[in-house]
Amino acid sequence: MTRWTAADIPDQTGRTVLITGANSGLGHRSARALAERGARVLIACRNAEKGRAALTEIARTATAQPELVELDLADLASIRKAAEQVRERTGGLDALMNNAGVMATPRRSTQDGFELQIGTNHLGHAALTWLLLPTMRPGARVVTVSSLAHHGGGLDVDDLHFTRRRYHPVRAYSQSKLANLLFALELDRAAKRADHDLISVAAHPGMATTELTRNSSQLRSMPTPVTGVVSIATRLVTQPAEQGALPQLFAATARGVRGGDYFGPSGVGEVRGHPTRARLSKAAQDPRTAQLLWQVTAEHTGIAPPWS
């Protein structure tokens, strides 16, 4: 695989793309790159004010005017409303980039009572994806953004919300990112079983400097001298958000992408570099766990997936 950059994104004229969390970080960089190549980009975010500010910034260099969709992934009612708006406003989607997320937060719950990280990062995106599948055009891509953190632990399908286990912010984040991968791979299998022309893939940014990492509760809770040292070390190790967004942009646009692929940076430890195929943990490749998670997700969200 060559040293692929944003300059290699094919012409996106005529394509419609929805990106969650596109008001900042990796989502914002992805939205800008796709809009500059002619895509109609729908910026889905919770904070309308920040969303409008992102629209203004992206529009400066875009060849197609971006649009705002208000979406709170921690609220199933908001997800249903956003999906309905997308169905009404578009003739169909060519790509859905499940990018938004929360990281290492204190124990909190979503509007529907889910643990915040699994509720936002996985359940919210799964619900949105299932609701939008009928709008996907032939050959459309669903790109789910995971993380190196998916290697950090397992997933308890029977205790997604840490009702029995002791809650730990990093463990909960790792679980949610593993759930992202399990969902993406099961969606690919479901599409193939249904003979549906859909490409479900996943990507991770390596270690990128974004608002997500800067706002992590684990970092913010440290003493000020420690946060300073961590911040300097982070800048030395991580790559800019523009570079971190390349794997998901590759997954969404590059030729030769196949369902079930997983992309990340090419450097040592997949921390930084240009897009290449990434390493899946053994847990992420377990179809039995993926099927159980698929079923539990449907029960939790009250949304029946179009295929099973």
Active site residues: 173
Question: How far is the CA of 85 from the CAs of 24, 67, 96, 210, in angstroms?
Answer: 22, 12, 15, 29
Instruction: At 67, list the tokens.
Output: 């649009």
End-to-end CA distance of the chain: 33
176 with 118: CB under 8 angstroms?
Answer: yes
Instruction: At 231, list the tokens.
Output: 């911040």
Q: What angle do CA 139, 142, 146 make, to 5 degrees?
A: 150
Enumerate residues 6+ apart whose C-beta is below 8 A from 277. 1, 261, 262, 263, 264
Distance (Å, whole) CA 152 – CA 154: 7
Instruction: At 296, list the tokens.
Output: 């539990």
Helix axis angle for 125-132 and 76-89, nearest 10°, is 30
Strands (E), the chain: 16-20, 40-45, 67-70, 93-98, 136-145, 198-203, 208-209, 239-240, 262-265, 275-277
Distance (Å, whole) CA 207 – CA 244: 7
Name 169's bridge partners. Answer: none
What is the DSSP secondary structure assignment for residue 278, as one 8-state letter? P
With H, G, I as helix, E, B as strand and everything else as coil, classify residue 272: coil
